[in-house]
Amino acid sequence: MRPLKIVTIFGILAIAACENGPSHGKIVVCSVAAEPSLGFFKASGNRFEIESVDLNLCTHLTYAYMDASKKPWDSMDSFKEANYKQLADLRKKYPHLKVSLGIIQSSDEHFKMATGRETRKAFIDTALNFTLAHGFNGLELTWSFDNDQPFANERFAKYAAVLMEKFQSHNLLLTSMFVKMKMGPSQPHDLLAFSKYFDFMLIAPNYIDGLIRMGVASSKIVIKTEFMGRGRISPDSIHKTLGYNEVCEMLSSNGESKWVQYYDHEVKAKIAKRENGIGKQMDVIVFPSSRTIANEMRYFVRRELAGALAYTLNVDDYLGKCGMDDDTFNDFRTISGVTLKIPMRHNTTFPLLRTMNDAILVAIDEFTQETNIMQQPHYFRF
């Protein structure tokens, strides 16, 4: 039996958030979606409200994502402008928070813009001026590597180098989410070189070990932690993407058909199943639980990564309908002599974001204890 100790927020383990942000010293990027149709920034019924988030749980906030091909900085869209102002106001309440604008565009458009001297200069100058004018602390680019055109590597690197130089001269952050990477010998891009031009990179878990083997510094990597699940639900039984909050809504409204839930170690996620009344078919949902999140935080602490990305806050359980899991730290394997100190939680809203911060603290403490024990002269490895 591993020892398990529950402590209050005023106990041995420091609370996950304080007035100046998280106390664990790691990066926690909180991403919020920008789609106006979903009313994410407006208080209305059960919709997401940015004011409801305790942003002391975040070190960075990304407003994601604006389509660069539509030139968001040239728009006088009142919805966007109101959101930009609201984000600037958040920094008055949370002075530690670094707020970035997230930019996305197709790989072909990105290639044309980044590899043409005039288009590259126009983008960099406009993006810089827009970032400064609206009070953002930086820019986050979604960087797709699905374009294998000749000389793309060299031209992209030149673009990234100039962009970083411009932003650094104004004390602004430049970060990137890397997607569609091809790990191994077939990768046409020098990912190690690219990493030098960003303050940190947001990377899906399955790419991280490969990047570190290439020589990318672990201190440059922020693990992308998904708050999305996938399901096949009657009556149409098509596969669809579901936010964690949508899953909570479904599971809390059982009706006549009860959901059976369990954690699957192979897929590292929670699975919910129920009979749907159509022959022998089953409705199935695979989704991240607090246990999934805790395990990812433990992984990044042990890999000594820079931090984690909460992707996205809009689909966390902001109404607290899922309740609190009782198996969050079940997979933390401790050696003899290590005591897990689990913070007591009193708030059921945003459980995945809160788990990220709690798990980082627990994982750091556990790893420190393990290291100290293994350095003792009487410790033997079997």
H-type alpha helices, the chain: 78-93, 107-115, 117-133, 152-169, 191-195, 205-214, 244-251, 290-302, 351-374
Quick one: pLDDT at residue 174? 96
Torsion sign, CA atoms 90, 27, 323, 234: positive
Where does the pLDDT of residue 178 fall: very low under 50, low under 70, confident under 90, or very high at 90 and above? confident
pLDDT of residue 226: 94
Mean per-residue pLDDT over the chain, rounded: 81
- Residue 317 pLDDT greater than 50, yes or no: yes
Please tell me the predicted confidence (pLDDT) of residue 290: 94
What are the Cα distances from residue 355, in Å, to 4, 289, 304, 308, 362? 17, 10, 19, 12, 10
Domain ranges of the chain: 4-227+289-374, 230-286
Higher pLDDT, 315 or 258: 315
Residue 10 pLDDT exceeds 70:
no
pLDDT recorded at residue 186: 52
User: Is the pLDDT assigned to residue 7 strictly greater than 90?
Assistant: no
Q: State residue 271's pLDDT score.
A: 94
Q: How far apart, in whole angstroms, are the C-alpha atoms of residue 8 and residue 246? A: 31
Question: Per-residue pLDDT averaged across 152-166, rounded?
Answer: 81
Please give the share of the chain, as a percent, with pLDDT higher than 70: 77
Q: Radius of gyration over alpha carbons of the chain, in Å?
A: 22
User: Is residue 354 over pLDDT 80?
Assistant: yes
Task: Give the pLDDT of residue 239.
Answer: 80
Question: What pTM did the predictor assign?
Answer: 0.87
16-20, 25-29, 133-137, 341-345: range with highest mean pLDDT: 25-29
Instruction: Kindly tell me if the per-residue pLDDT of 325 is higher than 50.
Output: yes
Q: What is the CATH number of domain 4-227+289-374?
A: 3.20.20.80
Per-residue model confidence (pLDDT) at position 275: 79
Cα–Cα distance, 186 to 176 (Å, whole number): 22
Average of per-residue pLDDT across 110-118: 74
**pLDDT surpassing 90 at residue 302:** yes
Between these two residues, 60 and 5, which has the higher pLDDT value?
Answer: 60
- Note the pLDDT of residue 189: 58
Distance CA 247, CA 227 (A): 11
- Per-residue exposure over 194-211, b if at least 16 CB sit within 10 Å of its own CB, e if not: bbebbbbbbbbeebbebb
Instruction: Give the lowest-confidence range in 286-295, 327-336, 353-362.
Output: 327-336
Cα–Cα distance, 287 to 267 (Å, whole number): 10
Across 297-328, b (16+ Cβ under 10 Å) vs e yields bbbbbeeebbbbbbbbbbbbbbbebbeebeeb
Torsional sign, CA 199, 205, 207, 212: positive
Whole-angstrom Cα distance, residue 50 to residue 39?
10
Q: Assign 255 a pLDDT band (cuts: 50, 70, 90).
A: low
For residues 18 and 379, give the distance between their C-alpha atoms in angstroms, rounded to a whole number.
37
Alpha-carbon 97 to chain mean position:
16
pLDDT of 18 reads 46
Q: What is the mean pLDDT of residues 317-345?
A: 85
Confidence of residue 175 (pLDDT cuts 50, 70, 90): very high
What pLDDT does 8 receive? 33
